[in-house]
Amino acid sequence: MLRELRKKLIRHYSGSFFITLVVVLSVLFLFVKNMLYATATEDINDILHYEKKKITGEEQMVPFTKEKDRDRGRKHAHLYYVEVIKNGKATELPRGHIARSKEEQAFRAFAESQSCCQKQGGTDEWKEKDGREEHFVYASLPLSSDSFLIVGKDISSVHEKVEHWFFVLALIGMGALVLSVIMGDRLARKAMKPIIRNVESQKAFVADASHELRTPLSIFSASLEVLAQEEKETLSEFSKETLTEMQEEVRQMSTLVDRLLLSAKMEEGGVALHKEVFSLRALIGQVLANYEKKEKHTRLHFTCDDNDFAIEADVMRMKELLYILIDNSLKYSNDSEPVTLSLTYNGGHRITLAVRDRGPGITEENLPFLFDRFYRAEKGRSKKTGGVGLGLAIAKAIVDQHGGKLSVQSTVGEGTTFTVQLVGLR
């Protein structure tokens, strides 16, 4: 139980820390990415309006006569491309514009495939013959009814920066995952300390109380047996009935104490298994024969095929498991409803034991906690059901010790089925 709780706490703390960090890194990545692309989009819009003014004559075009102007022209040649598209075909470039022929041809082919107008700036890419990708942002404006201006800017370096930024954040995320697990484990250890102390105190109390109660209960039970034997002729009917009820209560109390002690030992791993090979089918027959003596045999039905269903297990623990499951089904079903046991092979060496009743069933919200110690789906106690929620917890521990699996399926109003899966020796 504590191991499962610790795992849940680690998953909770680690998951919360990691998700928070992933959200922060994602927001940071999107912020930087949008900022870089927004800058490129703003630049391409400025270039678009500048080139339109040059073509329409609003901006005076001066030849690159000075060295500074020629440098500016060469710089712009590497930064953006300009095309005028008329009736779907590119016209001559505006006078004074310098461009690299290979990239200009690729952009010209792209521009001829576009329609006016992308005013806010869009992004696209093309591949060079060597497989290298070129990324660019473009925008366009109409010049006349049959022509428009389109400009593009190479943003491959910006795209590389975004990819590099994503790679860096991915590495940080992987490191954060490891860090979140370490942090989750430390936080879980810290949170578990008071729980472990309380559970250990509870275990010690249960074990000590069980030991202390066994002796007086044994003496009390023996005294009642002597009284029943020696004074049975002189006791009235009311006294005999009272004596019988006292013996039944002592028996139930002894069973409770034994189960408390067994549960405490199992929690500490102090119950050793004495395994031997035997027939599970024959053991079920013996248990049902004991119920037959108690006049409950009319409600118990057992079905299986001709196999012996040989297993290697602890006979006493398996018998305890059967008593717990059968008692539970008998308690929580009507006296007129049958309890069915079935034994089958479920693929290869897997043996499946199913105990089914037609009782009121268990609600879905109670099913996950059914095998916890001291948990009862029915909060109120009655004389018929009794119990304190230890039986199924012990049954689960027995099955786990044998490397098996205990599960439950239930439908409200239809009944409950407990299924035990064990490894057979077929």
Mapped to the 3 state alphabet, what secondary structure does 117-158 carry? CCCCCEEEEEECCCCCEEEEEEEEEEEECCEEEEEEEECHHH
- What CATH number corresponds to the domain at position 120? 3.30.450
Q: What CA–CA distance (Å, rounded) separates 331 from 129?
A: 80
126 DSSP β-pair partners: 134
Mark whether 6 and 147 lie in a shared domain: yes
Rounded CA-CA distance 166/162 in Å is: 6
The answer to whether residue 16 is domain-embedded is: yes
Query: With contact defined as beta carbons under 8 Å apart, do 153 and 80 qualify?
Result: yes
Instruction: Name the domain boundary from 126, 161, 196.
Output: 161
Cis check: omega of the bond before 304, within 30 degrees of 0: no
pLDDT tens for the chain, residues 1 to 426 = 667 777 788 888 788 888 888 888 888 888 888 887 788 888 888 888 888 888 777 655 444 334 443 444 444 444 678 888 887 787 765 444 444 557 777 778 887 887 777 555 566 655 555 556 777 788 888 888 888 888 888 777 777 888 888 888 888 888 888 888 888 888 878 877 887 777 677 667 766 666 677 778 788 888 888 888 877 778 788 888 888 888 888 887 877 777 777 776 676 665 678 889 999 999 999 999 888 877 655 788 899 887 888 999 999 889 989 998 998 888 888 877 889 999 998 776 889 999 999 888 888 888 888 888 777 766 544 445 555 677 888 889 889 888 899 999 998 888 999 999 998 876
DSSP 424: B
Which of 112, 146, 161 is where one domain is finished? 161
Q: Which residues pair with 310 in a beta bridge?
A: 279
- Which pLDDT score is estimated for 75? 43
CA distance 393 to 321: 10
CA–centroid distance for 69 within its chain: 65
From 143, 161, 179, the end of a domain falls on 161
Mention every residue, 6+ apart, whose C-beta is less than 8 A from residue 91: 83, 84, 85, 147
Question: Nearest 5 degrees, angle CA 310-CA 312-CA 313?
Answer: 120
Same domain as 279, residue 157: no
pTM of the shown model: 0.52
Q: Are residues 281 and 138 in the same domain?
A: no
Q: Which pLDDT belongs to residue 409? A: 92
Please report whether residue 361 resides in a domain. Answer: yes
Q: How far is CA 328 from CA 69, 111, 261, 334, 391, in A?
A: 95, 79, 20, 12, 8
- 287 and 153 in a single domain? The answer is no
Whether residue 251 lies inside any domain: the answer is: no
Whether 13 is in a domain gets the answer yes
| Domain assignment present for 193 | no
Pick from 140, 275, 146, 267: nearest CA to 206: 267
Domain that holds residue 92: 2-161
- Please check whether residue 338 lies inside any domain of the structure: yes
Whether 156 and 301 map to the same domain: the answer is no
Helix H or strand E encompassing 314: strand 310-314
What number of residues does the chain have?
Answer: 426
Residue 378 belongs to domain with CATH number: 3.30.565.10
Is there a domain that residue 266 lies in?
no
What are the strands of the beta sheet with 89-90, ordered from one edge?
89-90, 80-86, 147-154, 133-144, 122-127
Asked if residue 249 belongs to a domain, the reply is: no
Please, which residues bridge with residue 415 across strands?
411
Domain count, the chain: 2
